[in-house]
């Protein structure tokens, strides 16, 4: 999940993730954890200890419990450049996919396409500071992406064709994580600042109000000011 300028961004992402010949498959929290444990073991056995950052449904399914299942685990690392750590994670994921007869894209870093090179290291550091742990075992740690990034990228997708029924609910959940930390509603102007920072589509007033209403209904207090 991420933001791009092209109006066809959602279609491009689906083309990357849903490659020909790979049927979509949903994974529960337990299934994702089991699969990640296998990846972690392979990395650990190979002398690796890698920390990656997850974006999207895996965070909701495993960490937040706001979804019953998700189709894949999207992640990014501290750079977009090819490196041994990402190669090791991708290889381990492919080996697990083959052993378990699941799609090769169950764990993928396609989302880096939509993150600017100058931003990815900063996002990685912010995720480390936030320290919301999705998964951890010797060899592999998976952190949640910064909540503000997760929120505005969801709002970006809601402003484009191809939005999913759960996208607004996901956005509400991410907003709640921010409100819990700051103990105050997020100013609406802050959403625009974050969207501009990450080169996302700025949510219009209608979507912003829908987010505020859905948050108020779920948590019975204001999430936006």
Q: Do 39 and 140 fall into the same domain?
A: yes
The answer as to whether 1 is a domain residue is no
Question: What total of structural domains would you count in the chain?
Answer: 2
Report the pLDDT value the prediction gives residue 3, as an integer from 0 to 100.
75
Report the pLDDT value the prediction gives residue 117, as an integer from 0 to 100.
85
When computed from its CA atoms, the radius of gyration of the chain, rounded to whole angstroms, is 17
Residues in the chain: 225
The sign of the CA dihedral 219, 146, 52, 87 is positive
Q: What's the DSSP call for residue 193? A: H
Q: Do 159 and 110 fall into the same domain?
A: no
Q: Do 106 and 205 fall into the same domain?
A: no
Q: What does each of the 225 residues of the chain score in pLDDT, given as a tens digit?
A: 667 544 333 333 333 333 333 446 899 999 999 999 999 999 999 999 999 999 999 999 999 999 999 999 999 999 988 899 999 999 999 999 999 999 999 999 998 888 988 899 999 999 999 999 999 999 999 999 999 999 999 999 999 998 998 999 999 999 999 999 999 999 999 999 999 999 999 999 999 999 999 999 999 999 999
The answer as to whether 55 is a domain residue is yes
Q: Which of 184, 182, 157, 161 is nearest to 4 (CA)?
A: 157
Distance CA 32, CA 161 (A): 28
Q: Do 39 and 121 fall into the same domain?
A: yes
Q: Do 96 and 121 fall into the same domain?
A: yes
Q: Do 103 and 22 fall into the same domain?
A: yes
Boundary residue ending a domain (129, 145, 161): 145
Report the pLDDT value the prediction gives residue 1, as an integer from 0 to 100.
62
Q: Do 56 and 26 fall into the same domain?
A: yes
The answer as to whether 100 is a domain residue is yes
Distance CA 88, CA 100 (A): 18
Classify residue 101 by burial, with Cβ atoms within 10 Å: 0-12, 13-18, 19+. Answer: exposed
Q: Do 137 and 182 fall into the same domain?
A: no
The answer as to whether 3 is a domain residue is no
Report the pLDDT value the prediction gives residue 118, as an integer from 0 to 100.
86
Report the pLDDT value the prediction gives residue 9, as an integer from 0 to 100.
39
What range defines the domain where residue 206 resides?
149-219
Query: From residue 49, how far is each of 72, 84, 85, 92 by CA, in Å?
Result: 22, 11, 8, 13
The answer as to whether 225 is a domain residue is no
Question: pTM for this one?
Answer: 0.90
Distance CA 37, CA 150 (A): 24
Report the pLDDT value the prediction gives residue 24, as an integer from 0 to 100.
63
């Amino acid at each position: 999940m991420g933001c791009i300028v092209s109006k066809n961004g959602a279609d491009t992402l689906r083309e990357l993730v849903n490659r020909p010949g790979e049927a979509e498959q949903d994974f529960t929290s337990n299934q994702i954890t089991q699969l990640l444990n296998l990846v972690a073991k392979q990395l650990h056995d190979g002398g690796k200890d890698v920390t990656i950052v997850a974006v999207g449904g895996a965070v909701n399914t495993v960490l937040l419990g706001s979804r019953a299942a998700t189709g894949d685990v999207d992640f990014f690392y501290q750079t977009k450049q090819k490196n041994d750590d990402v190669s090791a994670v991708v290889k381990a994921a492919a080996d697990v996919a083959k052993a378990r007869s699941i799609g090769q894209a169950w764990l993928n870093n396609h989302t880096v396409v939509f993150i600017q090179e100058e931003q990815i290291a900063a996002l990685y550091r912010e995720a480390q500071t936030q320290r919301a742990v999705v998964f951890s075992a010797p060899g592999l740690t998976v952190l949640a992406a910064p909540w503000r990034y997760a929120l505005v990228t969801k709002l970006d997708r809601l402003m484009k064709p191809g939005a999913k029924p759960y996208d607004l609910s996901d956005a509400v959940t991410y907003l709640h994580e921010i409100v819990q930390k700051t103990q105050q509603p997020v100013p609406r102007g802050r959403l625009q600042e974050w969207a501009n920072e990450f080169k996302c589509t700025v949510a219009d007033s209608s979507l912003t109000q829908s987010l505020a209403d859905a948050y108020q209904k779920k948590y019975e207090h204001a999430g936006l000011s």
